[in-house]
């Protein structure tokens, strides 16, 4: 998929309920990750837009399903961050139910991009998400973010160990190093997302 298409990404809407999402046609890819793993920064870098997704020093700012439109048939969906968000228990439960219903019921969903901080990979949420994708047979690609914070050797060892454990959690899931700051892995991420969004024969 061309870089130009990602640059055309535009905010469409933020949905608190599934019925508020665009019509369930075409193709979309969801971005999931723990709060503070670098999800917004990854989205902004992939789309080559500084302020497309909100970044904040306060983790957990994404509190709805945020829809970014690439064109009339293709979308990127930013799921609520999980982990540090200081929100009422009721709202947190709502997010969990909303994400569950979205992942299992959305016909246009073609894959998940799971954001993991390379310094803290495979936390409980990450494992849960990988097993979830396995169980519903949904393609999953992991961006191991913030590799600029690790030495080259540390990054290579972490990637290898994470890929090995992923093989038992979600066979078929793929992983790559990524850094929004140093612009590492952007083209590879676009290629994978583009393949997810490609028309089905």
| Matching residue, tokens 């909100």 | 54
- In this prediction, residue 146 carries a pLDDT of 96
- In this prediction, residue 95 carries a pLDDT of 72
Is residue 60 very low, low, confident or very high in pLDDT (cuts 50, 70, 90)?
very low
With 0.75 as the threshold, say if the pTM is over it.
yes
Condensed to tens digits (0 to 9), the pLDDT of residues 120-131 reads 999 988 998 999
- DSSP per-residue letters across the chain: --HHHHHT-EEEEEESSGGGSPPS-SEEEEEEEBTTSSHHHHHHHHTT-TTSS---SSS----SEEEEESSSSEEEEEPPPBSS----HHHHHHHHHHHHHHHHH-TTEEEEEEEEETTS-S-HHHHHHHHHHHHTT--EEEEEE-GGGS-HHHHHHHHHHHHHHHHHHSTT-EEEE-BTTTTBSHHHHHHHHHHHHSPP-
Q: Are 102 and 131 in contact (CB under 8 A)?
A: no
Range of weakest confidence among 52-61, 128-137, 140-149, 173-182: 52-61
Q: Is the pLDDT of residue 20 over 90?
A: yes
Structure tokens at 116: 């993991």
Q: How many domains does the chain have?
A: 1
Output 82 or 51, whichever has higher pLDDT: 51
What percentage of the chain carries pLDDT values higher than 70?
89
User: Residue 136's CB: how many other CB atoms inside 10 A?
Assistant: 11
Question: What is the rounded distance in angstroms from the CA atom of residue 183 to the CA atom of residue 99?
Answer: 29
- In this prediction, residue 53 carries a pLDDT of 85
- In this prediction, residue 55 carries a pLDDT of 57
Question: What is the rounded distance in angstroms from the CA atom of residue 26 to the CA atom of residue 30?
Answer: 14
Q: Is the pLDDT of residue 14 over 80?
A: yes
Over residues 193-199, the mean pLDDT reads: 94
| Matching residue, tokens 């569950």 | 100
- Whichever domain contains 73, its CATH number is 3.40.50.300
Instruction: Give the structural domain span for 101.
Output: 3-197
């Amino acid at each position: 998929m061309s870089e130009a298409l990602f640059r055309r990404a535009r905010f469409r809407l933020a949905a608190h309920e599934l019925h508020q999402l665009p019509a369930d046609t075409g193709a979309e890819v969801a971005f999931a990750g723990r709060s503070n793993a670098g999800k917004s920064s990854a989205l902004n870098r992939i789309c080559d837009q500084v302020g497309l997704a909100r970044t904040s020093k306060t983790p957990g700012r994404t509190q709805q399903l945020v829809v970014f439109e690439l064109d009339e048939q293709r979308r990127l969906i930013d799921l609520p961050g999980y982990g540090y968000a200081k929100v009422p228990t009721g709202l947190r439960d709502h997010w969990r139910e909303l994400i569950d219903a979205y992942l299992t019921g959305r016909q246009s969903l073609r894959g998940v991009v799971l954001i993991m901080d390379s310094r803290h990979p495979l936390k409980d949420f990450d494992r849960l998400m990988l097993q979830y994708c396995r169980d519903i047979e949904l393609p999953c690609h992991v961006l191991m973010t913030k590799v600029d914070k690790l030495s080259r050797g540390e990054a290579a060892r972490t990637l290898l160990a994470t890929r090995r454990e992923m093989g038992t959690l979600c066979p078929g899931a793929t992983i790559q190093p990524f850094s929004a700051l140093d612009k590492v892995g952007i083209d590879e991420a676009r290629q994978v997302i583009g393949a997810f969004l490609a028309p089905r024969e």
